[in-house]
Amino acid sequence: MANAVLPTVSPPSVDGPSATRKRPKQKPKRQNLAGWLFVGPVIFGVLFFQLAPVAASLVVSLTNWTGLNSPKFLGLGNYKELFTADDTFWPSLKNTVIFTVVVVVLTIFIGLGLAVLCNQKIKGIGIFRTLYYSPAVTNVVAIGFVWFWLYNPDSGLFNSTLKTIGIHGPAWLSDTKTALIAVMIVALWQGVGYPMVILLAGLQSIDQSLIEAATVDGASAWRRFWSVVFPLLTPSLFFLTITQFITSFQVFGIIYVMTSGGPNNATSVFIFQIYEAAFGHGRLGYASAMGWVLFVIVGVVTAIQWRMEKRWVHYDN
Amino acid sequence: MTTEAIRVFNRPPRHIPRRVVLIVVLLFFAVVFAMPLLWMISASLKPENEVLQSPPTFIPSEFQWGNYSQAGHGLLPFFLNSCKLAALNVGFLLLFASLAGYGFARLNFAFKNLAFALLLSTAMIPGIVYLVPQYMLFRQMGWIDTHYPLWVPNVLTPVFGTFLLRQAFRGIPIELEEAAKLDGASIFGTFWRIMLPQVKPALAAVGALTFMGSWNDLFGPLIFLNSTRLQTMPIALALFKGEYFTQTNLMMAAATLTILPPLLLFLLAQKYFVQGITMSGLKG
């Protein structure tokens, strides 16, 4: 697949130095304009809509800008306030960390189980696969309302069902003890489809002869999975720990729709606080500082994950 | 023991029970995943008083299809807004992503590697970091409370789409392109008439994922739109809660209508969809 492009990228010094110099010099000259016309719009977009705003955001984070006032330079004042004076910062960070750890671990774990199930040769397995993935394409607002109703302490499906067998169910979203758990259940329900598909693709790309060889050697199914299949899945699992962490740490929609961070900040997460600061209170400078703190946390954790890669990820080549 | 002997020894006693266990487990998860959606549909067809009835019944005593026309009537303008934005996002994103994907796959130009690295690096920046300056930028440009912020930035920053299409273009045999060039086709002509039709599956994959992203976007409309008439389906649903739909059955009908288009698209384009997701997990 990748080889097809190699001839145009000028292989080094096979024809001797003079020959390699002549050919590439003609080609790039003709294609510079064309090449930049092809990639130009996207490079412009990335610079104008993403990288420039990221840089600007760092500057804004050092000011008290509201978007309406003339901004005053505060130095690290916003950051200092966030860490020492903001009594919602630490609780929301705690909630975000709990949410992220639970959701990352369980989506990958359950996703792996479902991928193994869906990899069995059974008639109609495609229907199950479709069914398991379908929550992932649903809209978070619509699905938020459905679960909101299912969780209703009096008339919701869960508690009505519990009542028929004589159990008085919890208040779910309106109890500070259960609210975060209730939200995480919805996130899991919607979130396992993606890891499942990635891991299923990983399973299907495994060379069957390796598994057959292990079978011939007398390895049990359990042994075969952990000694042969699992190591070959570690690159996919590594990819998932990185991407699932980044998306879970930025959870917003499900919280916004189901609890708005309540009750009593029990489900308040980091992005929700940024949203409130920027668009609820108009504190754009402060919100930018929070955004950068999030950026740094995500960056550091991702860097650590890359560092740990060698210890557990097995690459076949 | 010979291999044959091991097979005979290992298989038959396990074979049947294992299959039964497997099907039971598969059915269990099927119920877990389908249950909320099935209850949503069930509630959307019930008369109002029956939704809150305890113990709950799954099959409505009478099917009130009128709930859908009632909910759908109010949602129509927002449905059209969502369709318009999805069409703009899919159409222009495919155009720019395939142009850039082809450029990176097949053309030689100065600073190509740097440009590609720049593009990929932005995938790691959390969107929230540039949200505030973006908001200010759009205010300067007079774009707040218009549809522009909901598609123009998206279609000009298709990082994943560019990557996926680049991979697809690299998989096309180079001879095909050289034949076109010998026939005197321009670079753009080669791209448009010869190469683009070759990567239709990848275009379908990127298109399906873009549609989902656009249809399900919550943050964008929430922040950049103020006027109700410009809102999309998900936000309209949130606005309607309490205002129009104090009745749970109507709310569930509206939720069903919101979920239906992406769900249908997923069922129809499942192959491309899964392919796109799988490609997102591809290294290199």
Domain assignments of chain B as residue spans, ordered by start: 3-44, 66-280
Q: Given this model, what pLDDT does residue B245 score?
A: 61
pLDDT in tens, B108-166: 998 999 999 999 888 878 888 888 889 989 998 999 999 999 999 999 999 989 999 99
DSSP summary character for residue A229: I
Structure token pair of residue A66: 């509201």
Report CB contact under 8 Å: B254, A131: no
Number of Cβ within 10 Å of residue A169's Cβ equals 16
In chain A, residues with a C-beta closer than 8 Å to the C-beta of B136 are 56, 60, 67, 284
On the question of pLDDT at B30 being above 80, the answer is yes
Report CB contact under 8 Å: A49, B157: yes
Would you state the CATH architecture of domain B66-280? Orthogonal Bundle (1.10)
SS3 A73: strand
Q: Given this model, what pLDDT does residue B126 score?
A: 85
Report the gap between the CA of A189 and the closest CA in chain B (Å).
7
This prediction has a pTM of 0.86
Report CB contact under 8 Å: A46, B119: yes
Report the gap between the CA of B33 and the closest CA in chain A (Å).
6
CA angle B196, B200, B203 (to 5 degrees): 90
Distance CA B154, CA B41 (A): 33
Report CB contact under 8 Å: A51, B223: no
Number of Cβ within 10 Å of residue A25's Cβ equals 10
Q: Which option is the CATH number for A77-312: 3.30.470.30, 3.50.50.60, 1.10.3720.10, 3.30.565.10?
A: 1.10.3720.10
Report CB contact under 8 Å: A54, B133: yes
SS3 A71: coil
Q: Given this model, what pLDDT does residue B14 score?
A: 52
Report CB contact under 8 Å: A28, B167: no
In chain B, residues with a C-beta closer than 8 Å to the C-beta of A135 are 33, 36-37
Regions of chain A where pLDDT drops below 50: 1-28
In chain B, residues with a C-beta closer than 8 Å to the C-beta of A56 are 130, 133, 136
Helices and strands per DSSP (H, E), number in chain A:
15, 0
What ranges do the domains of chain A cover?
12-42, 77-312
DSSP letters spanning B158-183 = -HHHHHHHHHHHHTS-HHHHHHHHHT
In chain A, residues with a C-beta closer than 8 Å to the C-beta of B280 are 198
- Selected for mutation to probe chain B from A5, A8, A50 (highest B CB count within 10 Å) is A50
In chain B, residues with a C-beta closer than 8 Å to the C-beta of A122 are 19, 22-23, 26
- Report the percentage of chain A scoring pLDDT > 90: 51
